[in-house]
Amino acid sequence: MSEYTVVGQTVARVDAVEKVTGAAQYGADVHPAGMLYGKIVRSKQAHANILSIDTSEAEKLPGVRAIITQDDVPSGRRVFATDKVLYLGEPLAAVAATDPDIAEEAAELIKIEYEVLPVVQDVMEAIKPSAPLLQGDAAKDGPNRREISAQIRKLSRDKENDHSDEISKLEAELENYPDEVYYNISAESHSEAGDVEKGFAESDVVVEDTYVIPRVHQTYMEPHVSVASADSSGKVTVWASTQGPFAIRSGIAGTLGIPLTQINVIGTTMGGGFGGRFGVIITHVPAVLLSQKTGRPVRVQMTREEEFTDGRPAPGCVIKLKTGATNDGRILAREALAFWDSGSVSGASIGSTIRVRGVYKIPNLKVDAYGVHTNKSGTAAYRAPGAPQAIFAGECQLDEIAERIGMDPVKFRLMNMREEGDEVPAGGSEPKVGYKETLEAVADAAGWWDREADENQGWGVAVGDWTNGCGPGGVYVSVHEDGSVRIFHGSMDITGTDTAISQIIAEILTVPYESVTIRRGDTDSAPYSTGSGGSVVTFTMGNTAKLAAEDAHRRILELASERLNMNVDNLELRDGEVHVISADPPKSISLGELAAYSLSTTGGPIVGKGSFARQSSTPALAAQIAKVEVDPDTGRTRVLKLVASQDVGFAINPMAVEGQIEGGTVQGYAWAMMEEMQYGEEGNINPGFVDYRVPTSADLPTVESIIVEVPAPNGPYGAKGVGEPPITPTLATMANAVKDAIGVRINELPIKPEKVIDALKNNGHGA
């Protein structure tokens, strides 16, 4: 039995009624009087020089009110392409018109003259010298050349001694690695612990393989949208579908040179985000520019097709991975070389390559990662950014090793998992995390230990780790004369976080959950809040909410002490009333009475304030088991069972936590089995739900979720962020299950039926 009355209980969400009645207001539901409709004009080429942009025909179309290009961007920051486009769908201009169809027509009337350039879409082609150099980046050295070059630089710096012989020897050695000069590199990241060469030498088994993970789209159901209204005083109001209104405010300020105080961003109910809804340029900046130019409110809304061509999806990557272990099952070394497809923008989660380490004691680890420019849109976060890709490689290879040494995959993982107090490479020691508890829980629930499989059936297991982020936030709590409690803050609700915040405050103020209401402010009114991504909200805002409620709690006792003429030490808040401890007969005063009394006191109304920014987080583990059946004739894989456990620290609202586990697991399933953004010379070739299939209810069985609670020391009531971990192991879970079913490993996702058929044929299984 829990010691708590509100947290830890399943409650209906605070936004329940508005969400099931159509009353919730999303971005595209905002319609100020006189609103115009914006449309972004996009490149029809994947790589080309722009020779001219002719807007004259479009300007003549009745109903067109403004056309903007990069010339209208005061800071010069790239909003629209000018001389060159790098991907299909790149913005070139935007139109505002009195009707959405007129805006679309006008966009089509803008004539763009292109000089088409060679295109490169595959990362392994893009790094070759034969590839077109997309953004003029200098060539970078691969892992071996880097080491040799570093030695040369070191020797050259020593001016006191002559190293010319050694240097020419090293320079000759460089020639041994001609393929290690990489082109189109947008970013790189390297790390090393221990000595991998020594580790491999001491290993009995060494497995090496290349894993290919596709670019996938977050596919939030609400396409990006913003409505902007610039008034004649220069004040700009933006209704934005975003995970981070404060980041949008500063982004607009920086791009358009508008002071922060002149911008109010109103976050509208968010139709999913998953990390992909943080961008500033995407619709918000064009909407503001068009509104400034026309003096009228303007809505810019993306279509689903635009989401695919110019969204910021999750990066695909190629990971070459090598692992060494002993015959008795100890992992000794792991080495990764990864190429992440960052599209037209730098970066792309390359730092997450380190997650090939997993939650295991690996004494020797070396990771080299490169971001590679291609002719695609840039990328952004998607639920535990970079982790599903890296963990897919790591967890598939673990299964291969387990098979070689003849060890059960669950036992192999259990014996290598890090334990409390183990040294952490980044410094410090491993905290208490339910790694083993979570894996054991899923193994027990799925029936792993006495699993059975008919012909063409198989079982797969994998685990994935993630640590929630943390960021600044502020919360106010007011207690009213009727005893009700009102919360005010500035953080976007990300599927249930407002509910968790309300539960925490109800718990501390000992009032029923139903008497608490919560209101999110806009950036003009609310205290600063971090963006709702990185599983931060329950951790950060939960802690902030606790502080605010505790502050209110102090004021309540202070008021009761005055009112009842009692020392605070003799008072306790319980069931929404302040009681005099051990008074006989019992004596108490209700919160409502205290709130009414407070209005005529020197100290004033009951307002609790919480402000919080940073505390160290604790890793979380997700462990999953799948049972599948593969049809060898059609190659189709059917999921018979999918069980997901997660160490959530503490489940503040168990039903919402289950929902996160189920949803994240299904997104991981889809990445493994179905989803892939496909590109050709012309750019993205599957920009819609017919060709880019996401799962429907018909594709899957019920996902069984299991909550494991090993409290996080700094989490509110021990809670950890729960949104991201569940997607991290599923790619490998599915691949491992398919391998078990057909006896052939498929290292290139998604595992579509045709790949299964090919794999079977190539291994002499099929016709």
Question: What distance in Å separates the CA atoms of residue 643 and residue 628, rounded to the nearest whole number?
Answer: 12
Told to check if 767 binds other proteins by CB under 8 A, we report no
To which residue do tokens 């994935």 refer?
Answer: 464
Element (H, E) at 669: helix 654-673
Question: What distance in Å separates the CA atoms of residue 333 and residue 356, rounded to the nearest whole number?
Answer: 11
User: HEC states along 571-618?
Assistant: EEEECCEEEECCCCCCCEEEHHHHHHHHCCCCCCCCEEEEEECCCCCC
Residue 262's identity, in one-letter code, is: Q
Binding footprint of other proteins, residue count (CB under 8 A):
58
Told to check if 449 binds other proteins by CB under 8 A, we report no
Told to check if 33 binds other proteins by CB under 8 A, we report no
Question: What distance in Å separates the CA atoms of residue 557 and residue 538, rounded to the nearest whole number?
Answer: 27
List of residues 6+ apart from 309 with CB closer than 8 A: 42, 87, 88, 89, 377, 683, 684, 687
| Interface pick for other proteins out of 22, 136, 178, 428 (rule CB under 8 A) | 22
| Interface pick for other proteins out of 270, 433, 560, 673 (rule CB under 8 A) | 270
Residues numbered 484-503 forming contacts with other proteins, rule: CB under 8 A:
495-496
Told to check if 264 binds other proteins by CB under 8 A, we report no
**CB nearer other proteins, residue 193 or residue 700:** 700
**CB nearer other proteins, residue 42 or residue 334:** 42
**CB nearer other proteins, residue 436 or residue 520:** 520
Told to check if 26 binds other proteins by CB under 8 A, we report yes
Give the residue numbers annotated as catalytic, written as ranges: 724
Told to check if 13 binds other proteins by CB under 8 A, we report yes
Question: What distance in Å separates the CA atoms of residue 659 and residue 172, rounded to the nearest whole number?
Answer: 58
**CB nearer other proteins, residue 703 or residue 708:** 703
List of residues 6+ apart from 266 with CB closer than 8 A: 237, 238, 239, 240, 245, 522, 523
Told to check if 8 binds other proteins by CB under 8 A, we report no
Which range in 13-21, 283-291, 330-338, 615-623 contacts other proteins by CB under 8 A? 13-21
CA 341 to chain centre: 17
Which range in 145-153, 337-345, 613-621, 685-693 contacts other proteins by CB under 8 A? 685-693
Told to check if 29 binds other proteins by CB under 8 A, we report yes
Told to check if 676 binds other proteins by CB under 8 A, we report no
**CB nearer other proteins, residue 12 or residue 124:** 12
Told to check if 16 binds other proteins by CB under 8 A, we report yes
Spell out, one character per residue from 616 to 655, where the chain touches other proteins: x when CB under 8 A holds, - when not. ---------------------------------------x
The answer to whether the CB of 316 falls within 8 A of the CB of 388 is: no
Q: 366 forms bridges with which residues in the sheet?
A: 192, 335
Told to check if 2 binds other proteins by CB under 8 A, we report no
The values of phi and psi at residue 305, to 5°, are -60, -45
The answer to whether the CB of 551 falls within 8 A of the CB of 609 is: yes
**Could you tell me how many residues make up the chain?**
767
**CB nearer other proteins, residue 63 or residue 132:** 63
| Interface pick for other proteins out of 309, 416, 503, 665 (rule CB under 8 A) | 665
Enter the tokens of residue 479: 């207690």
The answer to whether the CB of 467 falls within 8 A of the CB of 359 is: no
Told to check if 24 binds other proteins by CB under 8 A, we report yes
Question: What distance in Å separates the CA atoms of residue 555 and residue 561, rounded to the nearest whole number?
Answer: 10
Told to check if 592 binds other proteins by CB under 8 A, we report no
The answer to whether the CB of 573 falls within 8 A of the CB of 582 is: no
Short-list 538, 547, 420, CA closest to 468: 538
At its nearest, how many Å lie between other proteins and the CB of residue 664? Answer: 8
Q: How many Cβ atoms sit within 10 Å of the Cβ of residue 227?
A: 28
Spell out, one character per residue from 700 to 729, where the chain touches other proteins: x when CB under 8 A holds, - when not. x-xx-x------------------------
Question: What distance in Å separates the CA atoms of residue 59 and residue 96, rounded to the nearest whole number?
Answer: 10
Burial 116-135 (b: 16+ CB within 10 A, else e): ebebbbbbeebbeeebeebe
Residues numbered 282-321 forming contacts with other proteins, rule: CB under 8 A:
303-304
Which range in 171-179, 318-326, 662-670, 747-755 contacts other proteins by CB under 8 A? 662-670
Told to check if 664 binds other proteins by CB under 8 A, we report yes
- Chain positions contacting other proteins, by CB under 8 A: 10, 12-13, 15-26, 28-29, 31, 100-101, 218-223, 269-274, 303-304, 495-496, 655-656, 658-659, 662-667, 688-690, 694-698, 700, 702-703, 705
